[in-house]
Amino acid sequence: MTKLTDSEAARLHPETLALSHGFDPWLSEGAVKPPVFLTSTFAFKCAEDGKRFFAWAHGEGTPPPRREMGLIYSRINNPNLEIFEDRVAVWEGMKDAYSFSSGMAAIATTLLATHGPGDEMIVCAPVYGGTDSLIHHFLKRLGITAQFVPAGPDAPALAEPLITPRTRSIFIESPANPNNRLTDIGRMKELAQRHAPPAAGQATGRILVIVDNTMAGPVFAQPAKVGADIVLYSATKFIGGHSDVVGGVALANDDVLLTAIAQHRAMLGGMPNPYTAWLLTRSLETLKIRAEQQQRNAQQVAAFLVGHPKVREVLYLGLLQPGHPEHAIYQKQHTGPGSLISLHLRGGEKEAFAFLDHLKVFHLAVSLGSTESLAQHPATMTHSGLTPEDKRFGGVTDDLVRLSIGIENAEDLIWDLKQALEHA
C-alpha cells in the first residue's frame, strides 16, 4: 500500500489493511495479490550486501527496519512471512509479529526465548493439552517449573502468594480452553509490575504476562490493550479459519522480546513455509466477516442449549450477565463473545459420546475457529494427556463437550444439536 502515508495508514481499520498492507505490487510485476515466494535462498546483488545483511541478522551495527534488512534465506526471512506478519500485527495493534509452523511452535519457541533454567511460571489452568504437556514435562526437564492456579476472577489473588524472585511469567489462556473461564489480564499485569517492575528500557528482569488468545481470536479481543506483553495464537484456528493450514504467531511490542523470539525461531527452525504464510495472508482478508457470522450463529445456538433438558450448563461468554464475577472482565477484555461454546451434559462420558456420535452437520473433530462447525470431547481428546488430578483442577469433566460454531445456517445447526441430544 505504497500510496498511503504512515498517518493515512494509521487511520484505517484492520479489515481494510488486511487486503494490501505490507505488499508493494510493483515489486512483483504489478500483481494485485502477493505471489508465493517458493524459494529457499535469495541472491545478493554483491558480496558486500551479503556481508551487511548477515551482520544485520546477527544484530550487529544499526540495522534498518526489519522489512528493509535484505532477504537472506527463508529460515530467516521471506516475503510471504513478512507480509502475513505485518497484517496480523495490525489486527492486534502490536508492533510486530513472528509466524510459526504451528501454534505449539509459537508457544514453545516463545517460552524458550524468555525463560531459562531456574525460572518459574504461574499458569492459569486449564490450558490446551499440548501446552500443558510442554509445561509439565519438557520445560520441567530444562529446569523451568510452573505453579498452576484456576483460571477465573480469583486467579490474581491465588497467584500472588506463589510469586518468588524467580518468577519469570504469568501464562494465561483467554478464554481458557476448554471451559471458557476468563482471567483478568489487567490485574495480572498490575500484579507482575508490583512484584518485578521493569528496568528502564529493558524487557528482562520483569514478570511477563503471556496470553494465548487462540480461543477468542483477534477480532473480539486484543490482549495487549489490557496488559499482555506477548500474545500467542494457533493461527490454524480463527486466523486460518478453513481447516486447511497449520500455523502459529507470536506478537510483542518490546524490541528485546521480539529479537529474542526471532533469534530462537531462526535457531530452532519453526517458521512456516512460504505457501502456509500465503494461505494465512489470504485468510486474514475474510477474518472479520467469518468471525462475525460465527458469533451470530453461536449466540442463537447458545440460546437454544440453555433451555434444553439434557444440558446441565452452558459455558459461553455471551451468556454472562451483570453481577456474574466474570462479566466485568468480559466487558474490559472483549468486544464480542465469539463462537466457542462448552456445555455440560446431564450424565457422563456415555451420554457425551452418544450425543457426539449422532451429530450429522457438526464434524466430530478437534480444532476450532473454522468455517465448518466442530464438536469434540476434551477429556478424551484435546486434554486427554492431563492427569486425572489436573483435569479436575481445570474442570475438564467427562460430561463436558466443546463446540466450535461455523458459518452454516444457524437453524440447521440447532436442528442437528436437537436431534443428537435426543440420544444423549
Q: Which residues are catalytic?
A: 75, 128, 212, 237
Going by their DSSP bridges, the two strands 248-252 and 96-100 should be labelled as antiparallel
Residue type, 371: T
**Residue recorded with cell 451429530:** 359
Distance between alpha carbon 225 and the CA centroid of its chain, in Å? 15
Cα(85)–Cα(21) distance, rounded to whole angstroms? 10
Residue 218 main-chain phi, psi, to 5 deg: -75, -10
**Residue recorded with cell 520483569:** 206
Rg of the chain over CA atoms, in angstroms?
A: 22
Cα(62)–Cα(55) distance, rounded to whole angstroms? 9
The DSSP code sequence of 268-304 is: HT-PPPHHHHHHHHHHHTTHHHHHHHHHHHHHHHHHH
Is there a contact between 97 and 250 (Cβ–Cβ < 8 Å)? yes
Cα(169)–Cα(123) distance, rounded to whole angstroms? 8
C-alpha cell at 3: 500510496
**Residue recorded with cell 451434559:** 345
What's the angle, vertex CA 210, arms to CA 164 and CA 126, rounded to 5? 85
Cα(97)–Cα(252) distance, rounded to whole angstroms? 7
Cα(330)–Cα(337) distance, rounded to whole angstroms? 8
Closest CA to 232 of 254, 255, 215: 215
Residue type, 396: V
Q: Specify the 3-state DSSP secondary structure of 349.
A: helix
Is there a contact between 151 and 176 (Cβ–Cβ < 8 Å)? yes
C-alpha cell at 209: 504476562
Going by their DSSP bridges, the two strands 120-125 and 167-173 should be labelled as parallel
Is there a contact between 233 and 105 (Cβ–Cβ < 8 Å)? no
DSSP state of 370: S
